[in-house]
C-alpha cells in the first residue's frame, strides 16, 4: 500500500505546473487517513456533508441507487481522485461509494478545502480542472450506454480507463492493472455479466485486447482505437496545459 | 438582445466573490462578438480547436452524432455558459453546437484563455467550477435517461433548468422562459415528441406544472420536487462558496 498524495499531485500537475509550496499546501489538507477493506461503503452524508476524501490507494465505485432498486455505477475512482467533492463545491447531488479493493483515503474537511481554495487559487483551479475532466469523461461514457454496440462500448471504456491511469503514472500505453470484476464492468456499461464475458472473448479472438488475471492488455492499440471510435486527441498531452506565470507568459 | 458578460459574471460570482479587477480581466478576454440565427451550427474544430465561445444571449443545444446517425442532445447551454472549453482545457472529445434561438457568442482564443488562467487563477477556478458543475448536472440527467419513468425524468429536467436559470438571475423560483420545442426536449430526454406531449399534459392535469407559450410555470413546486425525487440541497445557496481571502479567512 502506498499512502501518499503522489498520484493526485501528478494528476494536478498535468494541468498546471504547481510549485513546491503549493504541493506542500495540498499535502497538508487532509486531517486523517482511513483504510477500508474491499466491499465496504464510504460513509458520506450527501448534500449536508462536511467533508470529502482523496483516494490515495485502491479502487472505488461510485453509484446511484435508483427508485426501482437497481444500481447504476456512475464511474470508478482511481488513486488521485476526489470522493464527495461535488456535493461540497458543485452543489449537485452526490453518489454513494463502495471500495472495490482495499483502499486508503485521506479525509479533508469542507472548512479546510474552502480555506485552501481561498489561499491558493492555482491549486483550486488544478483540482477543479481534474474534477471537470472526470465529469466530462463520465458524460462520454453515459452517452455510449445504450447507443453503441456492446463491443464498442466495452472497448471505449477500457481505453479511457487506460488514459486515466496513464495520467497518474500507472501502467503503460499498452497495459494496465485492473481489479474490476465482470459484474462491476457490467453494471457500469449497462450489460449483463454474461454479455461482458462474450464481448471480452470476441476482443481477444480478434487479437485486439485481452483482460485476464487482473491485467488489461492492448494487443493492437491502433485497431482497437478505430473500432471504439476513440478520440485520441487527449492522448498526446506531454506538458501542463497552464504554465507558470513566473516567466514571461501572457502579455 | 443583451450583449454583455453580466450573466456569466453572476454565475462565476456564485462560486467566488470576484473583484472588480478580475471581472474586468474576464470581460476583456473575448476578441469578437458573433450573432447567429436559430438553427445555425457553431463551427468548432473539435480536438484541434484554437478557440472557445461564451454564450452571451440565447439558447444552444450541444449534441453528439452517433455512428448509427441518431443525434443525442447532451445538454442545453444558456447565457453565461462556455462552448468548446472542454476540448481546450479538459482534453476530452467535444460536441457539436446548434443555436436554438438567435444567439450572441463571444469568441475567446485558446491563447487568451490560457494566459488569463495563468495570470488570474481565482478567475480560472471560478470558470472551472462552473464547467464542472454543469458536467455534474449532465451526469445526473444522463443517469435518469432510461432508468426513471418519463414523467419523473421530464419533471427533474425542467426543475434543474430552473435552478440553472436562477443562478444567472433569469426567471423566478416558480417560473422561467423556455424556448425548447417538444422535439428538442424529446431528444434530450430520450423520449418521442408525442410522449413528451402526453407527459406535459399529465403534469398539467395534476396541477403540478405547465409549459405553455414558452413559459415553464411550477404550480405546485413542493409536490413536483417530491415527484421528481429532486435533491433540493443546491437550491439554498445565497452566498459565494469561496470568500475573498483579503479578510481574515483561513487560519
Residues linked to residue A52 through DSSP beta bridges, in sequence order: A108
| pLDDT at position B136 | 84
| pLDDT at position A236 | 53
Q: How far is CA A129 from CA A34, A55, B90, in A?
A: 26, 17, 7
| pLDDT at position A3 | 45
| pLDDT at position B105 | 95
pLDDT 10s digits, B224-245: 999 988 876 555 566 787 776 5
Tell me which chain B residues have a C-beta less than 8 angstroms from the C-beta of A82.
Answer: none
In chain A, which residues have pLDDT < 70?
Answer: 1-4, 44-49, 67, 145-147, 232-238, 244-251
Q: How far is CA B34 from CA B10, B43, B99, B104, in A?
A: 21, 12, 12, 6
Helices (H) and strands (E) in chain A, counts: 9, 11
- How many angstroms separate the CA atoms of B130 and B138, rounded? 13
Judged against a pLDDT cut of 70, whether residue B37 lies above it is answered with: yes
Among chain A residues, the shortest Cα distance to B49 is held by: A233
Determine, for residues B234 and A91 on separate chains, whether the beta-carbon distance falls below 8 Å: yes
Q: Of A162 and B139, which is predicted with more confidence?
A: A162
| pLDDT at position B1 | 31
The shortest C-alpha distance from B134 to chain A (Å) reads 9
| pLDDT at position B194 | 94
Give the mean pLDDT of B142-163: 84
- How many angstroms separate the CA atoms of A207 and A224, rounded? 9
Pairing of strands A71-77, A60-65: antiparallel
Does A148 contact chain B (CB < 8 Å)? yes
**Are B187 and B141 contacting, i.e. CB atoms less than 8 angstroms apart?**
no
- The percent of residues in chain B predicted with pLDDT above 90, rounded, is 49
Nearest 5 degrees, angle CA A82-CA A49-CA A79? 15
Judged against a pLDDT cut of 90, whether residue B73 lies above it is answered with: no
Among chain B residues, the shortest Cα distance to A138 is held by: B139
Judged against a pLDDT cut of 90, whether residue B174 lies above it is answered with: yes
Grid cell digits, residue B52: 472557445
Pairing of strands A41-42, A96-99: antiparallel
For testing contact with chain B, the best of A91, A131, A227, A243 (most B CBs within 10 A)? A91
**Are B157 and B137 contacting, i.e. CB atoms less than 8 angstroms apart?**
no
Does B51 contact chain A (CB < 8 Å)? no
Which residue in A92, A122, A243 is closest to B140 by CB distance? Answer: A92
Judged against a pLDDT cut of 60, whether residue B83 lies above it is answered with: yes
| pLDDT at position B168 | 87
| pLDDT at position B163 | 85
Interface size, chain A vs chain B, as Cβ–Cβ contacts under 8 Å:
170
Tell me which chain A residues have a C-beta less than 8 angstroms from the C-beta of B143.
Answer: 64, 66, 72, 74, 142
Which domains does chain B show, CATH number per domain?
Answer: 6-120 (2.60.120.10), 143-235 (1.10.10.10)
Judged against a pLDDT cut of 90, whether residue B140 lies above it is answered with: no
Q: How far is CA A16 from CA A89, A121, A154, A160, B131, in A?
A: 20, 11, 31, 22, 17
For testing contact with chain A, the best of B69, B132, B236 (most A CBs within 10 A)? B132
**Are B115 and A249 contacting, i.e. CB atoms less than 8 angstroms apart?**
yes
| pLDDT at position A38 | 96
Which residue in A72, A124, A242 is closest to B114 by CB distance? Answer: A242
Q: How far is CA B92 from CA A232, B48, B49, B95, in A?
A: 9, 11, 12, 10
Give the mean pLDDT of B38-59: 82
Grid cell digits, residue B115: 494566459
- How many angstroms separate the CA atoms of B249 and B223, rounded? 40
| pLDDT at position A248 | 40
Judged against a pLDDT cut of 80, whether residue B143 lies above it is answered with: no
* pLDDT confidence band for B70 (50 / 70 / 90): confident
Q: Which residues 181-240 in chain B show a CB within 8 A of chain A?
A: 229, 231, 233-234, 237
The shortest C-alpha distance from B61 to chain A (Å) reads 15
| pLDDT at position B250 | 37
Determine, for residues A133 and B92 on separate chains, whether the beta-carbon distance falls below 8 Å: yes
**Long-range contacts, A155-160 (Cβ 8 Å, 24+):** A155/A203, A155/A208, A155/A209, A155/A224, A155/A227, A155/A228, A155/A230, A156/A228, A156/A229, A156/A230, A157/A185, A157/A188, A157/A189, A158/A209, A158/A211, A158/A216, A159/A218, A159/A224, A159/A225, A159/A228, A159/A230, A160/A230
For testing contact with chain A, the best of B25, B73, B84, B117 (most A CBs within 10 A)? B117
Does A112 contact chain B (CB < 8 Å)? no
Amino acid at each position: 500500500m502506498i499512502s501518499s498524495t503522489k498520484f493526485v499531485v501528478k494528476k494536478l500537475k498535468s494541468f498546471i505546473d504547481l510549485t513546491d509550496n503549493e504541493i506542500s499546501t495540498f499535502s497538508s489538507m487532509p486531517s486523517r487517513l482511513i483504510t477500508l477493506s474491499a466491499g465496504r461503503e464510504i460513509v458520506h452524508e450527501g448534500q449536508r456533508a462536511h467533508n470529502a476524501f482523496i483516494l490515495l490507494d485502491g479502487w472505488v465505485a461510485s453509484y446511484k441507487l435508483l427508485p426501482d432498486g437497481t444500481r447504476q455505477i456512475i464511474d470508478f475512482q482511481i488513486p488521485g481522485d476526489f470522493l464527495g467533492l461535488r456535493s461540497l463545491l458543485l452543489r449537485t447531488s452526490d453518489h454513494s461509494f463502495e471500495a472495490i479493493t482495499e483502499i486508503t483515503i485521506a479525509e479533508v474537511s469542507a472548512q479546510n478545502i474552502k480555506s485552501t481554495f481561498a489561499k491558493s487559487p492555482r491549486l483550486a483551479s488544478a483540482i477543479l480542472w481534474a474534477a471537470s475532466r472526470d465529469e466530462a469523461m463520465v458524460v462520454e461514457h453515459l452517452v455510449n450506454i445504450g447507443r453503441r454496440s456492446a463491443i464498442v462500448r466495452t472497448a471505449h471504456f477500457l481505453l479511457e480507463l487506460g488514459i486515466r491511469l496513464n495520467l497518474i503514472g500507472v501502467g503503460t500505453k499498452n497495459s494496465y492493472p485492473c481489479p474490476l470484476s465482470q459484474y462491476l464492468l457490467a453494471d457500469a456499461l449497462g450489460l449483463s455479466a454474461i454479455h461482458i464475458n462474450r464481448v471480452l472473448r470476441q476482443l481477444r479472438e480478434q487479437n485486439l485486447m485481452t483482460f485476464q488475471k487482473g491485467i488489461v492488455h492492448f494487443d493492437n492499440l491502433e485497431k482497437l482505437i478505430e473500432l471504439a471510435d476513440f478520440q485520441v486527441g487527449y492522448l498526446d498531452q506531454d506538458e501542463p496545459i497552464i504554465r507558470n506565470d513566473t516567466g514571461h507568459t501572457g502579455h
